[in-house]
Amino acid sequence: MISISKIAELINGQVEGNSDLLIEDICELNGGNKQCISFIAHDKYAHFYADSKSDAVIVGMNTNLPESTKTIIRVDNPPLAFNKVTELFRPKLISEVGIHDSAVISSSASIGENVSIGPNVVIENHVNISDNVYIGSNTTIGRNSTIGDNSCIMTNVTVYHDVNIGSHVHIDSGTAVGADGFGIVTHEGIHHRTSHTGTVEIEDHVAIGTNCCIDRGTINCTRIGEHSKLDNMIQISHNAMIGKGCIIAGQSGVAGSTVLGNYVIMAGQSGVVGHIEVGDNCVIATNTLVTKTLKAGSFVSGIPARDHLKRKKQEAVINQLPELLKRVRALEQELDKIKKD
């Protein structure tokens, strides 16, 4: 068990209540458990506070709460603070360092220190794996590829040849990095696959979810910028350039040769067509298709994508159309009566 005072020290928080209170685990705010600590990510969840059984709660500096016997730790960023507390009570399993007997590793590959390589892993010629890397079972690392320090490549991942993966990168199961893009040349009614001789560059601190497809560049590269986070089942096509700090939610896609600026957010099931640019800090709402270049800071929605606020006003007018139609018909009837008289 860990005292509130130690937890507060870890997350640089201010304690309101019993600083000697002992905590044994984390819990959700809704419901909660005794001797556990929870958090309020946003003020809209504060209504769960009074009835929660949790003995301690991490909250924002300006969050207003009713009086209770709970102990409070105030911080600037509750979700980030709670993430640190989670690691304190439920640390990630430490992989056993070593190379499994069934792994197939080329004699020309370079393997760093404190590396964990699981069963049936295949590491091809001239691969360079840095220190403290984890590679899960049944994963393949293609020739001439590199993986930076402290990266984690989970089970059943396919990294093709000539792919560069940075440090502190996490790639989840089922993802393929470096397959040929969907390039087709048609001649006399026959479709021919385009050769893809480029690469993929995944910069530091990138996270990629399960079953994603990151295609290699046709001649140069496809790039995922540092600190970007990709959800599950995402398609990044050949020659796409994803800036730093981007967030792309599940079932989204970026078509070929498109450039996403820094800190772009793509909500679930959104898409961007090829050969356009999306400026820095743009937000693309769920189920949106971007068909034209977006200026920095744009917030768009719909198919095709339009300014979100303008679209909401348009939809408000559309919702009034049935009533407007009734009024027009009523006026037409009155006009017909006047004409007959």
pLDDT at 167: 98
Q: Which of 189, 186, 159, 184 is nearest to 171 (CA)?
A: 159
For 75-94, the pLDDT digits (tens) are: 999 999 999 999 999 998 77
- For the stretch 294-303, pLDDT in tens is 999 999 999 9
Strands 184-187 and 163-165: unpaired
Name the CA dihedral angle for 106, 112, 113, 119, rounded to a multiple of 10 degrees.
-40
Quote the tokens at residue 290. Answer: 């971007």
pLDDT at 306 over 80: yes
CA dist 299 and 297 (Å) reads: 7
| Percent of the chain residues topping a pLDDT of 70 | 100
Read off the pLDDT band of 340 (50, 70, 90): confident
pLDDT in tens, 28-64: 999 999 999 999 998 889 899 999 999 999 999 999 9
How many Å apart are CA 62 and CA 54, to the nearest integer?
Answer: 20
At 218, the amino acid letter reads T
Out of 42, 238, 275, 308, which one is annotated catalytic?
238
95 pLDDT more than 80: no
Residue 193, pLDDT > 80, answer: yes
- Residue 86 host element (H or E): helix 78-89
Residues 208/224, Cβ–Cβ less than 8 Å: yes
Task: For residues 131 and 301, give the distance between their C-alpha atoms in angstroms, rounded to a whole number.
Answer: 43
Mean pLDDT of the chain: 95
Rounded to the nearest angstrom, the gap between the alpha carbon of residue 291 and the centroid of all alpha carbons in its chain is 22
Q: Is the pLDDT of residue 241 over 90?
A: yes
Q: Who contacts 62 (Cβ-Cβ below 8 Å, separation ≥6)?
A: none
| Percent of the chain residues topping a pLDDT of 90 | 86
Q: Write out the two tokens for 232.
A: 């599950």
Catalytic (active site) residue 238? yes
Contact of 150 with 165, CB cutoff 8 Å: no
CA distance 1 to 4: 10
pLDDT in tens, 109-144: 999 999 999 999 999 999 999 999 999 999 999 999
Q: What is the mean pLDDT of residues 265-276?
A: 97
Q: What is the DSSP letter of 5?
A: H
Contact 146, 162 (CB under 8 A): no
Strand, helix or coil for residue 198: coil
pTM comes to 0.89
**CA 341 – CA 224 distance, rounded (Å):** 74
Name 159's bridge partners. Answer: 141, 177
pLDDT bracket for residue 3 (50, 70, 90): very high
- The whole-number pLDDT of residue 299 equals 97
> What is residue 334's predicted lDDT score, i.e. its pLDDT?
86
CA distance 54 to 28: 8
Instruction: Give the Cα separation of 161 and 33 in Å (integer).
Output: 49
pLDDT at 337 exceeding the cut of 90? no
Domains of the chain: 2-89 (3.40.1390.10), 98-306 (2.160.10.10)
DSSP-derived letter for residue 309 is H
Q: Computed over its alpha carbons, how large is the radius of gyration of the chain?
A: 27
| Cα–Cα distance list, 275 to 69, 246, 285 (Å) | 58, 18, 20
**Position 96 pLDDT exceeds 90:** no
